[in-house]
Amino acid sequence: MAGSDLFTGSLDLIILKALSWGPMHGYAVGRWIRTSTSDALTLQEGALYPALHRLERRGFLDEEWGMTDTNREAKFYRLTPAGRKALRAETARWQSYSQMMTAVLAAARP
């Protein structure tokens, strides 16, 4: 992914996590990522949109046009049941993966 230091697939997981709180439009997702990672993630914000649309196409997200708090028309994304399931599965996979990586990296010299 252009301009990103993410591991493959982690952006998708982050988006799913962001939307697990409820429907959001793209900007809000981006803002949530920035705040929740304390701006530590170097990410071209534009990269968010292909990821969103790809998740939508895979059936993990539903789109819906609605009004923002400031009364502007915006496209909202919402987790579908499939998206929620994917979030659970990916979270579990990520956790076991990171534990494994942590263990490997902390391992003693053979």
Partner 1 sequence: MKRAFRVPSSGGSRRDVEREIELHLQLRAREFEATGMSPEEARRAALDAFGDRSAVETEVAGIHRDTIRVRQRREWLGELRQDLSVGARMLRRAPGFAIVALLTLALGIGANTAIFGVIRSVLLRPLPYPHAEQLVQIWEDHRALGRAEPEWLAPPDFFDWRDQNKTFASMAAYGGFGADLTGDGDPESLNGLSVSGNYFDVLGAKPDVGRLFTMSDDDANAERVVVLSHAFWERRFGADPAIVGRRLTLNGNQWTVVGVLSDRFRAPAQIAVPDFVAPMRRPADSRCRRGCVTWHAIGRLAPGVSLAAAQADLNRIAARIAVESPSTNAKVGAWLIPLQEQITGSTRPALVAISVAVALVLLIGCVNLANLLLVRGAARSREIGVRAALGAGRGRVVRQLLTENVLLAVAGGVLGLVLGIAGTRVLAALVPAGIRQVQEIHVDAQVLGFAVGITLLSAALFGLVPAIHAARAGLMSSLRQTSAQSGRQANALRGMLVVTQLSLAVVLLIGAGLLLRSFLAMQRTDLGYRESGVYFSSLAFPQARYKDQAQTLAAIEDLLTRLRANPAVKTAEATDVPPLAGGGDQDMTTVPVGSTPLPGQPSTMWYRSVSPGYLPAMHVRLVAGRWLSEADRVGPPRVALINEYSARRFWPNQNPVGREFVAGHRPDSPRITVVGIVASTRSDGANAPYKPELFLPLEQSPPGFVTLVLEPARDVASLTAALRQALHEVDPLIPADAVQPIDTLVGDMVALPRLYALLVGLFAATALLLAAVGVYGVMAYSVAQRRREIGVRLALGAAPSHVARMVLGSGGRLAAIGLGVGLGGALLTGQLIGKLLYGVSPYDAATFVIVPVILGLATIVAAWLPARRAMQVDPLVAIREE
User: Does 3 contact partner 1 by CB under 8 A?
Assistant: yes
Give the interface segment with partner 1, choosing from 6-14, 63-71, 82-90, 99-107 (CB under 8 A).
63-71
For the chain, what's the residue count? Answer: 110
Tokens of 52: 């969103």
Closer residue to partner 1, CB minimum distance, 53 or 91: 53
What DSSP line would sit under 18-39, residue for residue?
HHTTS-EEHHHHHHHHHHHTTT
**Where do contacts with partner 1 occur on this chain (CB under 8 A)?**
2-3, 23, 25-27, 30-31, 44-47, 49-50, 53-54, 56-57, 63-69, 71-76
